[in-house]
């Protein structure tokens, strides 16, 4: 049976998290409400991540991987995942497991009704500075996009693959996935999910790329929204 759902997991220097990731993703595979496979995406890691990824894929039939020749960033990794998968649904989670794979079932339960279902991190276990900068960034983004989303930075999403493949991704646009689905006249929904502190590895984000970077990306989104082409074919022969 072909997979109905593929979870893409961007990875950059996460060697200390990968065995725990393997264990928890396997646990989810056993309880997923849809036939699921995993796509690990090595974003040019400089540690031992790629060698561990290869070992994981060798011993787990449902795990696959692609690797970049250098570090391109989170948006590029997500875009590569969208381009690669063939299942009807595509999901996304971070390798640090600050969100729980089991919560994918909450999102999958709504995937037949919505083109994108995204998590909202309830009771976030991050520092005060990180939480406040995230709230400010989300407020700024909402004022530009009117997408109604409270937490687009939550790394737990399920998207209709056909819609995902049409997203014109560029650097930083991973923050605008719900808005980009809405541009396609798609439907979006947010659901409360669990959140945990980071146990190992280091965050790839700082004050600059959590606040100032997203502000500049908002202007890019506004430009794209004005230029975006959306159409439906009525007939063909």
Sheet with 63-67: list strands edge to edge: 63-67, 36-42, 5-11, 89-93, 156-160, 116-121, 188-193
In this predicted structure, what is the pLDDT of residue 210? 57
Element spanning 89, H or E:
strand 89-93
**CATH class label, 5-227:** alpha beta
**pLDDT by residue, tens only, the chain of 237 residues:** 689 999 999 999 999 999 999 999 999 999 999 999 999 999 999 999 999 999 999 999 999 999 999 999 998 999 999 999 999 999 999 999 989 999 999 999 999 999 999 998 876 555 545 555 566 566 666 656 666 666 777 889 999 999 999 988 777 777 888 888 988 999 999 999 987 765 665 555 555 555 566 667 777 777 777 777 777 777 887
CA angle 54, 198, 93 (to 5 degrees): 55
In this predicted structure, what is the pLDDT of residue 142? 61
Whole-prediction pTM: 0.81
Q: Is 161 helix (H, G, I), strand (E, B) or coil?
A: helix
Specify burial of residue 59 (Cβ count, 10 A radius: 0-12, 13-18, 19+): exposed
**Distance (Å, whole) CA 5 – CA 160:** 9
Q: Where are the chain's structural domains?
A: 5-227
Tokens of 124: 């976030």
């Amino acid at each position: 049976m072909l997979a109905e759902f593929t979870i893409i997991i961007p990875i950059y220097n996460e060697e200390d998290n990968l065995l725990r990731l393997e264990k928890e993703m396997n646990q989810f595979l056993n309880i997923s409400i849809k036939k699921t496979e995993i796509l690990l995406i090595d974003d040019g890691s400089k540690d031992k991540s790629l060698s561990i990824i290869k070992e994981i894929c060798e011993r787990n039939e449902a795990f696959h991987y692609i690797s970049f020749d250098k570090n391109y960033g989170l948006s590029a990794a997500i875009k590569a995942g969208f381009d690669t998968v063939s299942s009807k649904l595509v999901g996304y989670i971070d390798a640090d497991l600050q969100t729980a794979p089991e919560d994918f079932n909450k999102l999958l339960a709504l995937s037949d009704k919505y083109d994108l279902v995204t998590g909202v991190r309830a009771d976030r276990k991050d520092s005060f500075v990180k939480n406040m900068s995230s709230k400010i960034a989300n407020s700024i983004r909402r004022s530009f996009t009117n997408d109604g989303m409270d937490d687009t930075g939550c790394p737990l999403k399920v998207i209709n693959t056909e819609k995902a493949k049409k997203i014109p991704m560029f650097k930083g646009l991973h923050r605008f996935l719900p808005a980009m689905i809405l541009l396609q006249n798609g439907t979006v929904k947010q659901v409360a999910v669990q959140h945990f502190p980071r146990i190992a590895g280091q965050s790839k984000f700082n004050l600059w790329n959590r606040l100032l970077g997203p502000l500049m990306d908002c202007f890019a989104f506004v430009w794209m929204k004005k230029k975006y082409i959306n159409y439906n074919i009525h007939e063909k022969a």
